[in-house]
Amino acid sequence: MTTTAPQHESPPAPQRLWSDILTTPVGDLLRGRIGARCRPRPRDLIATCGLPAELASLVWEVVRRTRLWSTEKVAVSRELIAHFEDGLAVGTSAAELGVSFGDPAQAAALIRRAKRRNRPLIWKAAKLAENAVAAVLSLALLLYTIQVVRLYSHAPNITRNYVSEWNQDALTVPPAERAWPVYLAAMQATNGYWEHNWHGDELSPGSSSWPDITEFINSNGRALELYRQAAAMPKIGLVLGREPDVDYMVNNAGQPIKNAGAAPDPNPEFISVLLPPLTTFRSVSGMLKVDVYLAAQAGDAQRTQHNLDAVFGIVAHAREVRLMLADLVALTIAGDACRTIGALLRANPQLFDDHQLAQIAHRLAGLGGPEGLRTRFASERATVEDFLQRYFTDDGHGDGLGRPELLARLAVFTSGDPAPTRWTPTIGLNTVLMPAISPFMAGKREMLAKCLDFFGRYEAEAATPLWQRSPTTVDDEFIQFRTSLRNEVRYAPLMILMPSLGRAGLMYEYFAQQRDATTAALALALYHRQHGSWPQSLNELVPQLLPQVPPDRYDGQPLKYCLVDGHPLLYSIGVNRKDDGGRLPSPPPDGTKTPLAELNRQARRWQPAPTAQRGAGAAMEKPLPDGDWLLWPPVE
Amino acid sequence: MRIERELMRGAGPVAVLKLLERHEMYGYELIDALSKRSEGVLALGQSTLYPMLYNMEAKGLIESTERAAPSGRERRYYRLTRTGHAQLAQQTEQWVAISRAMLALGILPGPTTTQEALA
């Protein structure tokens, strides 16, 4: 045993200032160490124990290095002091005791470990929790780092120019054959602000606005003629993304077109392209409809027919744009044209000659070509695909993660404001956030697959006649999909970008019923002229005047027909799927005054069959309208 | 003779338990007793003994009290608990078994077979 004592640091008496600050009474109270100042402090204990300086230093060094609680340090100090005092008492020198004690650092480490094992269970539980949190945080940090690498090592790869692809057909139309410039010229020639003044039901004789409307039409003969010319042209030739802001033009008649001549973006976002014709088509068809009535009142069958032809031309032009919203506008215009024709047949049955009636029937039946006016969802699909290629990275295998720009873009969509607001996340913040969010958000491939799955099912549903549809609508599934919190995060872009398309699919079915009823009404008119009486059944119209009796879209059976007081009535059994004999639904029992046209619309509002069959018996469901959807003559 | 660390890790605690079997002892006393009664073979470093005692206390094998010795000096005395007694009995059995095996293998001097050792 060597007698050389190790050299240890001196006792810590001069270093008390910081410790004194930390152990003020208030400090102790805040740290939950009530009564801490009543207990001896280890260094005081060691300084006053009477051990030789080198042993006192050794004890302090060991105790200090343990980094234990103060009470634990006191216990260890007392034990070591007693140990050395016992050694000295049996005659061992201080130097020998110091050497035989061993390495103070190792002793401190072992003592610390052992003493901590003696701590209370609650401390051990807290420590376990702390370690677990640390482990989770470390794992999260690791995952975040991996995600940062994954996210920022790839960039979006914009391979397709959807706007350009959409414009391919339009660009092949020679400039001289494009109808759109003629529409624009007509719009500029319009004297006044049609779009903001009159809508919907006002555009029929007898409305309170009718005198003002007729005055407007009479003072815009030149513009109407241009519209008829435009509508008669075979192709609209509209180039998306390069057209002027028609809304601006409408609001600033006579002013230069706002963005005409501006350098177009070579690959604009598909979702951002302006849809100028939609406003135009609706307002122009409204003007032509008014002129239909004015011409009919004047007994001018040819002008009336020309106006109807122009409306059909607008429908064809809207379909040429191939956007879902344009398809819906086409359906609205075509449906309105059906009601206008129906009203003319009722009010001016002798206006058109037989040939004109047949022409109108053929034109109406042929709207939209072989596929009819069925709503197409290709533009919505392209919108999502284009969005994904711009705001998701491309790993070269068709997959990728959402980019920081995605959050800012989605924030703009949800706020409805195209300009960033103070609440729009900054790109810097998004750069930090996105790696943390992206593990919870579906990748590009999964996002696209989910989107295409819904589009496919919506398209299949839209292609199915109402009477063959499943009891569960795709909208039901889509709403269920949207209400899941997991999906809200995982498919956040789809939640914002992808609309419920069920109603868009229904629009065609409503129109098809209206169209079929109108062609049947035209056939009835011809039959009446030929026979001087109405047929007892629609079968009598087949095959001379109708190729076949059109179906009722709600049960697949022949469209309902009857004579009421000697006058014909065409109707569908409506959403309650019950033949009520051509009676409108009853008004609300609470006495609320409801227009007849609204009651008629309620009768057609489609629901899946099982729900409908439960009808008024289902306590929690709104009772189904107890009447039929009257198709012709129009309900006024 | 210096004992391998791993061997010491197994032998140290049972040696301490054995020393505390009959009466309580304090730290220096334990070190001294271990060194003398094992002729220095099981002499524990002082920096090793105290952590070992704290560990055994944490396991409930021993318990300690601090009180003044007859000399007036404050000391911490350690004594065996019921668990400690049971642990000692168990470990003693294991050491006996090991010793017999060592004997049988000829590692320990004495009878060369287990039968001889047990005879």
Task: Map out the domains of chain A as residue ranges.
Answer: 13-119, 162-371, 378-500, 512-632
Q: Residues of A620-635 as b/e, b for ≥16 C-beta within 10 angstroms? A: eeeebbbbbbbbbbbb
Nearest CA in chain A to B29: A86
Of the candidates A81, A84, A104, the residue with the CA atom closest to the CA atom of residue A96: A84
CA distances from residue A367 to A338, A373, A510 in whole angstroms, order as listed: 12, 7, 15
Give the whole-angstrom CA distance, residue A121 versus residue A125.
6
DSSP labels, A6-50: PP-PPPSGGGHHHHHHHTSHHHHHHTT-TTGGGSPPHHHHHHTS-
Best mutation site among B35, B36, B47 for testing chain A: the one with the most A CBs within 10 Å? B47
**CB neighbours of A62 closer than 8 A, spacing ≥ 6?**
A76, A80, A104, A107, A108, A111, B47
- Whether residue A423 has pLDDT greater than 80: no
Give the pLDDT confidence score for residue A496 in this predicted structure: 87
The chain A residues in contact with chain B (CB within 8 A) are 62, 75-76, 78-80, 82-83, 85-87, 89-90, 100-104, 106-107, 110-111, 113-115, 117-118
pLDDT tens, residue by residue, A215-250? 999 999 999 999 999 999 999 998 887 766 555 555
- Band of the pLDDT at A204, cuts 50, 70, 90? confident
Share of chain A above pLDDT 90, in %: 61
- Say which range, A122-131, A243-252, B28-37, has the weakest mean pLDDT: A243-252
Chain B residues in contact with A115 (beta carbon < 8 A): 54
Chain A residues in contact with B74 (beta carbon < 8 A): 78, 82
CA distances from residue A231 to A19, A101, A183, A234, A339 in whole angstroms, order as listed: 91, 106, 8, 8, 20
Give the whole-angstrom CA distance, residue A75 versus residue B27.
13
- Say which range, A34-48, A475-489, B70-84, has the weakest mean pLDDT: A34-48
Radius of gyration of chain A (CA): 42
Q: Crossing angle, helix A354-365 and helix A324-347, to 10 degrees?
A: 160
pLDDT tens, residue by residue, A364-400? 999 988 888 999 999 999 999 999 999 999 999 999 9
* Residue B62, burial from CB neighbour count under 10 angstroms (0-12, 13-18, 19+): buried
pLDDT tens, residue by residue, A539-559? 999 999 999 999 999 999 999
Mean pLDDT of A258-264: 57
Least CB–CB distance from A114: residue in B46, B55, B71: B55
Domains of chain B and CATH, by start: 5-118 (1.10.10.10)
- Band of the pLDDT at A15, cuts 50, 70, 90? very low
- Whether residue A183 has pLDDT greater than 80: yes
**CB neighbours of A314 closer than 8 A, spacing ≥ 6?**
A231, A281, A284, A285, A288, A330, A333
Mean pLDDT of A609-631: 68
- Whether residue B73 has pLDDT greater than 90: no
- Whether residue B118 has pLDDT greater than 60: no
Q: Residues of A394-429 as b/e, b for ≥16 C-beta within 10 angstroms? A: bbeeebbbbbbebbbbbbbeeeeeeeeeeebbeeee
The shortest C-alpha distance from A477 to chain B (Å) reads 60
Give the pLDDT confidence score for residue B10 in this predicted structure: 79
CA distances from residue A582 to A97, A242, A443, A527, B14 in whole angstroms, order as listed: 114, 50, 53, 21, 102
- Whether residue A614 has pLDDT greater than 50: no
Give the pLDDT confidence score for residue A422 in this predicted structure: 55
Least CB–CB distance from A117: residue in B27, B29, B58: B58
Q: How many A/B residue pairs have CB atoms within 8 Å?
A: 73
Give the pLDDT confidence score for residue A18 in this predicted structure: 56
Mean pLDDT of B54-73: 89
Give the pLDDT confidence score for residue A497 in this predicted structure: 87
Give the pLDDT confidence score for residue A39 in this predicted structure: 66
Q: Is the dihedral of CA B100, B101, B103, B108 positive or negative?
A: negative
Mean pLDDT of chain A: 86
The shortest C-alpha distance from A116 to chain B (Å) reads 9
Least CB–CB distance from A83: residue in B45, B46, B48: B46
Chain B residues in contact with A103 (beta carbon < 8 A): 47
Give the pLDDT confidence score for residue A185 in this predicted structure: 87
Chain B residues in contact with A90 (beta carbon < 8 A): 32
B54·A117 Cβ contact <8 A: yes
Output DSSP code: residue A200: G
- Band of the pLDDT at A33, cuts 50, 70, 90? low
A107·B74 Cβ contact <8 A: no
Give the whole-angstrom CA distance, residue A125 versus residue A129.
6
Give the pLDDT confidence score for residue A6 in this predicted structure: 38
Mean pLDDT of B31-35: 89
Give the pLDDT confidence score for residue A616 in this predicted structure: 44
Of the candidates A346, A331, A332, the residue with the CA atom closest to the CA atom of residue A205: A346
Tell the residue number behind the tokens 């609209």, with chain if given: A236
- Say which range, A258-262, B35-39, B101-105, has the weakest mean pLDDT: A258-262
A19: how many CB neighbours lie within 10 A of its CB?
Answer: 11
- Whether residue A437 has pLDDT greater than 60: yes
Give the pLDDT confidence score for residue A109 in this predicted structure: 95
Nearest CA in chain B to A72: B54
- Asked if B78 contacts B53 with a C-beta cutoff of 8 angstroms, the reply is yes
Longest alpha-carbon distance in chain B = 55
The answer to whether the bond into A543 is cis (omega within 30° of 0) is: yes
B26·A78 Cβ contact <8 A: no
Length of chain B: 119
Q: Residues of A302-315 as b/e, b for ≥16 C-beta within 10 angstroms? A: ebbbbbbbbbbbbb
Best mutation site among A110, A115, A117 for testing chain B: the one with the most B CBs within 10 Å? A110
Give the pLDDT confidence score for residue A251 in this predicted structure: 56
Query: Beta partners for A571?
Result: A560, A630
Chain B residues in contact with A86 (beta carbon < 8 A): 26-29, 73, 75
A41: how many CB neighbours lie within 10 A of its CB?
Answer: 17
Give the pLDDT confidence score for residue A600 in this predicted structure: 95
Give the pLDDT confidence score for residue A464 in this predicted structure: 94
- Whether residue A200 has pLDDT greater than 70: yes
Mean pLDDT of B9-25: 91
- Whether residue A262 has pLDDT greater than 60: no
Give the pLDDT confidence score for residue B119 in this predicted structure: 53
Classify the phi-psi angles of A363: left when phi > 0, otherwise alpha if psi is within -120 to 50, otherwise beta.
alpha
Chain B residues in contact with A87 (beta carbon < 8 A): 28
Query: Beta partners for B66?
Result: B76
- A315 or A608, which is more confident? A315
In the three-class reduction of DSSP (H, G, I as helix; E, B as strand; rest coil), residue A233 is classed as: coil
Instruction: Report CA A318 to chain centroid distance, whole Å.
Output: 24
Mean pLDDT of B20-36: 91
Tell the residue number behind the tokens 């030149």, with chain if given: A222
- Whether residue A43 has pLDDT greater than 90: no
Helices (H), A322-426: 324-347, 354-365, 378-391, 404-415
- Whether residue A104 has pLDDT greater than 80: yes
Mean pLDDT of A38-48: 82
- Whether residue A613 has pLDDT greater than 60: no
HSE-up of A424 (CA within 13 Å, CB side)?
18
Mean pLDDT of B95-105: 89
- Band of the pLDDT at A2, cuts 50, 70, 90? very low
In the three-class reduction of DSSP (H, G, I as helix; E, B as strand; rest coil), residue A282 is classed as: helix
Mean pLDDT of A44-67: 92
Give the pLDDT confidence score for residue A240 in this predicted structure: 85
In the three-class reduction of DSSP (H, G, I as helix; E, B as strand; rest coil), residue A219 is classed as: coil
DSSP labels, A394-415: --SSS---B-HHHHHHHHHHHH
Give the pLDDT confidence score for residue A275 in this predicted structure: 76
Tell the residue number behind the tokens 């109707």, with chain if given: A571
Give the pLDDT confidence score for residue A622 in this predicted structure: 66
The shortest C-alpha distance from B41 to chain A (Å) reads 14
- Whether residue A408 has pLDDT greater than 90: no
